[in-house]
Structure 1
């Protein structure tokens, strides 16, 4: 009698490295989630979500002791805005998701309390949250931005000055609410900032999330938007300008977890100077329950000089065939010489033509902020970057 062999030859527990218990994560939704840093293994730099990050320079944030900095913010007054401090064991904490990496778990476990910003106005309000009083001491923060059902608000997070910060920003968008969250990083040259933005979007609600990263030595802002109810809409836009020796990283996750949800992701970046580095990773998951999904993501990078590096990795997982559409795109390259030639033919110098192309490239994202004063300031900051570059 012949016995059918059902196991791979040699694949025994004592020889295969115990792959049954250490198999790689197969889908984005299976990543470990925990508020306990002890649940995360030590970072080696080979992990899928850390392999492009200078982890050796982040040890104080990923595993060290942290001061609490949640209260180091200034919130502008507006109708329907309530600011309060809540304990980390409150039911109000964790509704948008738990940490998925060691840095976020370290912040979660050491911060003393979370600052909750509750938004209730049905008339469009703009709220500014400023943070400029941090130091180079390693610190943690936790902020909750909650949009009540049917509310309509723009929240602008302005970060400047010194920082050595790891933080979580929770965003809870109630049914039928419209919320725009703008995160602006204009840190000093040596600042380090690791941020996880977790969002849950309710039924027929709209979230527009915008990131603008200009300043800081190492900046890593990772938005995760969970479209958890029917008709939810999530849009994630970003603009960044990396200079010599600067590392700007954005890992975007869109989770379609309900029927008839929609998402759009568009990040644009410019890089100049030796060692300028940009990393963009876009993950879109369309789950089995997300029939009728409409999704698209793209990343565009413009390299202005030699010595720069841009990593652009779009990922798309689809678990159902019943969708309206899904796609992604990624490009990294130099100037389009035809554009430069066209502008020169109109009497514009080559240097000025190149500056105009960069401005136009990034302004598409910045204009989505919808605040003329802030848009003008960011355009001036980009202009300053260009004036200092070899293009000038």
Structure 2
């Protein structure tokens, strides 16, 4: 694979310290963003706002207006091993208290949700199998989702949330990882081609706790997932992994904000995506804030995009904001490149058919991320889906 740019650095904002030791926070700090449970506090996006400039907001109008759930059009099922419980109830005014809506779509979903689904892992539990929550939409049903996931202290668990079908979905996901717990959360988007999905994931990571947050997006007309992470104690760890594949006309957008405030925490973000077909568009925005109090922080974020055909576009924006120099390490990298025809020729020259060779190159591109997921059934599912996508890869002029 030949990359057009080996490394693209996003803006790095370093706070200037005063004599008192306090850090100056720039006006454009991510810490200053608006958050509110009230829909009225957010205007309907017009696409000129920084947070919405990449998004086709006109196609998302249904998710910017308050509207009731169509519960008859959505099926939710759960497989829960010992130590995990799932319940459904009336949403509380602040849910788990982990996150607050940061845009209009999230506020609309919060205000309009009629049911909150809670998935709880008991303290100290270590289920042998993943807990699986399946959400299936029918006939463009309206879903205002509110999912609360709590991992009890010193538990160790894997939770999979799988989305499929036809839906108009605005959702909020709260994730509370208590002290000493280890949680792997996998969110899979395999929606039909007419689906809209805008979600905000908010995670709180306790002292010496760890969260592996994995996003797999392979379907939907427009999918936009914003993930926000904060730490409530020292020694917390966040690993954010993502895989996405956009076809013609699809818009797949992933945004992350990791807020380092306590000292001696770490974060590692790595997302990879492939695009093919006219109008395929992916967006990745990664923001990391290291506050003045977050000495000993170690953080890195990576995004790679592989453009398989003409007419596809990938936008990638890494941002790193640092208010203290007392850190272990901080960095970011982003690159977007075209499919490498030399690799394809090399494989074909050794007797490998073109379609198989193409599949091998793309599989190799995703392998470093997929292997880190560590959930065998999810890994197999991802690679099978990628193979299905590649089965319809149109031939470029360069291939001919």
Counterpart of 2:216 (choices 212, 216, 225) is 212
Contact 1:61 1:139 in 2 (8 A): no
Q: How does 1:288-367 map to 2 (within 5 A)?
A: 288-367=292-371
| Superposition deviation, residue 386 in structure 1 | 0.6
Q: Deviations over 1:206-257 (max 9, x none)?
A: 0000001001111111111112310000010100000000000001111111
Contact 2:214 2:242 in 1 (8 A): yes
TM-score for the superposition, normalised by structure 2: 0.88
List, as ranges, runs of 4+ consecutive aligned residues in structure 1 with deviation greater than 6 Å: none
Contact 2:141 2:166 in 1 (8 A): no
User: The residue matched to 2:63 in structure 1 has which SS?
Assistant: helix
The answer for the alignment partner of 1:17 in structure 2 is: none
The answer for the alignment partner of 1:4 in structure 2 is: none
Residue 122 in structure 1 maps to residue 128 in structure 2: no
Tell which has more relative contact order, 1 or 2 (C-alpha 8 A, sep 6+): 2
CA–CA distance in structure 2, aligned partners of residues 254 and 357 of structure 1:
32
TM-score for the superposition, normalised by structure 1: 0.89
Name stretches of at least 5 consecutive residues in structure 2 with no aligned partner. 1-25
The answer for the alignment partner of 2:4 in structure 1 is: none
CA–CA distance in structure 2, aligned partners of residues 112 and 25 of structure 1:
37
Residue 225 in structure 1 maps to residue 222 in structure 2: no
Name stretches of at least 5 consecutive residues in structure 1 with no aligned partner. 1-23
The answer for the alignment partner of 1:35 in structure 2 is: 37
CA–CA distance in structure 2, aligned partners of residues 165 and 97 of structure 1:
18
The answer for the alignment partner of 1:255 in structure 2 is: 259
Contact 1:205 1:231 in 2 (8 A): yes
Aligned residues: 368
The answer for the alignment partner of 1:60 in structure 2 is: 62
CA pair 69-47 structure 1, distance change in 2 beyond 3 A: farther
* Larger displacement relative to structure 2 (326-335 or 39-48): 39-48
Q: Deviations over 1:125-156 (max 9, x none)?
A: 41001011444133201000000000011001
| Superposition deviation, residue 281 in structure 1 | 0.4
The answer for the alignment partner of 1:177 in structure 2 is: 181
CA root-mean-square deviation: 1.9
Contact 1:68 1:141 in 2 (8 A): no
Q: Which has the larger radius of gyration?
A: 1
Q: How does 1:40-119 map to 2 (within 5 A)?
A: 40-67=42-69, 69=71, 72-89=75-92, 93-119=95-121
CA pair 374-300 structure 1, distance change in 2 beyond 3 A: same
Contact 2:250 2:281 in 1 (8 A): yes
* Larger displacement relative to structure 2 (224-233 or 311-320): 224-233
Q: Deviations over 1:58-85 (max 9, x none)?
A: 1111124231659842111211112223
Contact 1:227 1:234 in 2 (8 A): no
| Superposition deviation, residue 350 in structure 1 | 4.1
| Superposition deviation, residue 345 in structure 1 | 4.6
CA–CA distance in structure 1, aligned partners of residues 126 and 356 of structure 2:
42
